[in-house]
Amino acid sequence: MKLGVMGCGKMGTALVAGAVKSGAIQGADLIGFDPSTSAREAFALATGGEVTGEVSGLAACDVLLLCTKPQHAAEALAALHGLVSSDGLLISVAAGLDLAWLSRHAPPGWRVIRTMPNTPALVGEGAAAFACGTGATDGDAGLARTLLSAVGSAHELPENLLDAVTGLSGSGPAYAFVMIEALADGGVKAGLPRSIALELAARTLRGAATLVLESGTHPAQLKDQVASPGGTTIAGLAELERLGLRGALISAVDAATQRARELGRS
Ligand SMILES: NC(=O)c1ccc[n+]([C@@H]2O[C@H](COP(=O)([O-])OP(=O)(O)OC[C@H]3O[C@@H](n4cnc5c(N)ncnc54)[C@H](OP(=O)(O)O)[C@@H]3O)[C@@H](O)[C@H]2O)c1
C-alpha cells in the first residue's frame, strides 16, 4: 500500500503521525502533498514520510487521505483524475462532504470512506466515526479504523448517523471548552488564582471522563458515589439541575446535528 495524504495540515499530520507511531503504517509507505512548504516540513518531521509540492507525486498511491479544508476538496480531487490508477480508496476527513459527493469527485473507479474525527485527535485522544461507500471492502473499513484508532477511538456507522456524530463528538470539544472555562470562572469567583482554577477545571473534566471510560461504570452511579447526603456536591448538583445544564447539553447536540443536516443538504 502507498498512502498519499492530500493536505498536510493539523488533522492530516495528527492522523498519520499517530498511525506511524502505533506501527500501523511505515514512513516509507507514505507521501504527503501540500502546496504549503511549512505544512510539508512539519508533516515530514512528524511522520518520517516523503513530501511533495506537486500533485504528480501522488501518482503511485492506491490509498488517499483527503485532509484539505472542505472548500479545497473539489479542486484537490480534480487534480487526481487521469493521474492515479483506476482502483483505489479515498478516505476523507473533510467535514460535511457526504459519500455521494465524494463518489462524484473521487477518481473514477475509486471506493470512498467518509470519516468524522474531532480535534482531540491532535493530542491522541480523538473520538471518531466513519461510514463506508458502496463497494468499500472489509479491508478498506479496517484501514480507516486503524488510522482513526491510532489517535483515539473509531466506530463504523451508517452514513445517516454521521450528522449526530458531528453534533456530539465533532462539536463536543467546544462544549467541553466552555464547561472548563466556566468552572474556572467559578473557581476564580471563589478566590482561586486563574491559572490554578483553569488547571483544576481541565483536569477534573479529563479525570472524570477517564473514570467513566476505564471503570465502565455508568456516570449516574459515579455521580451518586460522590454526592454525600447534605454535602457540598449535592448542593452544586442541585444548582445545575435548577439552571438546566442537562437540557442545555441535550439541546446543544440536537442543534448541532440539525445544522450538520442543513449544511449537508446545501
Ligand atoms: N482540525 C480538526 O480538529 C478537524 C476535526 C474534524 C474534521 N476536520 C477536517 O479536517 C480537514 C483539515 O482540517 P485542518 O484543521 O487539518 O486544516 P489545515 O490545518 O488548514 O490543513 C489543510 C491543509 O491543506 C492544504 N491544501 C489547500 N489546498 C490543497 C490542495 N488543493 N491539495 C492539497 N492540500 C491543500 C492547506 O494549505 P494552505 O494552508 O496553503 O491552504 C493546508 O496545509 C478539514 O476538511 C476539516 O473539516 C478537522
Establish whether residue 169 lines the binding site of ligand 1, counting it when its CB lies within 6 angstroms of any ligand atom. no
11 CA closest ligand 1 atom index = 16
If you take atom 18 of ligand 1, which residue's CA is the nearest one?
9
pLDDT of residue 96: 87
78 dihedral zone (left: phi>0; alpha: psi -120 to 50; beta): alpha
Q: Which of 5, 16, 33, 34 to mutate to test the pocket of ligand 1 (most atoms within 8 A of CB)?
A: 34
Ordered domains of the chain (ranges, CATH): 3-158 (3.40.50.720), 170-265 (1.10.3730.10)
pTM exceeds 0.75 for this model: yes
- Using the CB atoms, write b or e for 23-32: b if 16+ within 10 Å: eebeeeebbb
Q: Closest by alpha carbon to 2, among 65, 53, 54, 46?
A: 65
Query: In order along the chain (266 residues), what is the average pLDDT of each group of 10 residues?
Result: 97 94 92 98 97 97 96 96 96 94 96 97 95 97 96 96 96 98 98 98 98 98 98 98 98 96 82
Q: Is 74 exposed, middle or buried (0-12, 13-18, 19+ CB in 10 A)?
A: middle
Backbone angles phi, psi at 152, to 5 degrees: 145, -140
The Å distance, Cα 37 to ligand 1 centre, comes to 14
Helical H runs in the chain? 10-21, 37-47, 70-78, 99-105, 138-149, 162-165, 172-189, 194-215, 219-226, 232-243, 245-265
Q: By three-state DSSP, how is residue 155 classified?
A: strand
The Å distance, Cα 121 to ligand 1 centre, comes to 14
Q: Residue type at 21? A: K
Establish whether residue 10 lines the binding site of ligand 1, counting it when its CB lies within 6 angstroms of any ligand atom. yes
The Å distance, Cα 9 to ligand 1 centre, comes to 5
If you take atom 45 of ligand 1, which residue's CA is the nearest one?
94
pLDDT of residue 265: 78
If you take atom 5 of ligand 1, which residue's CA is the nearest one?
118
Q: By three-state DSSP, how is residue 129 classified?
A: strand
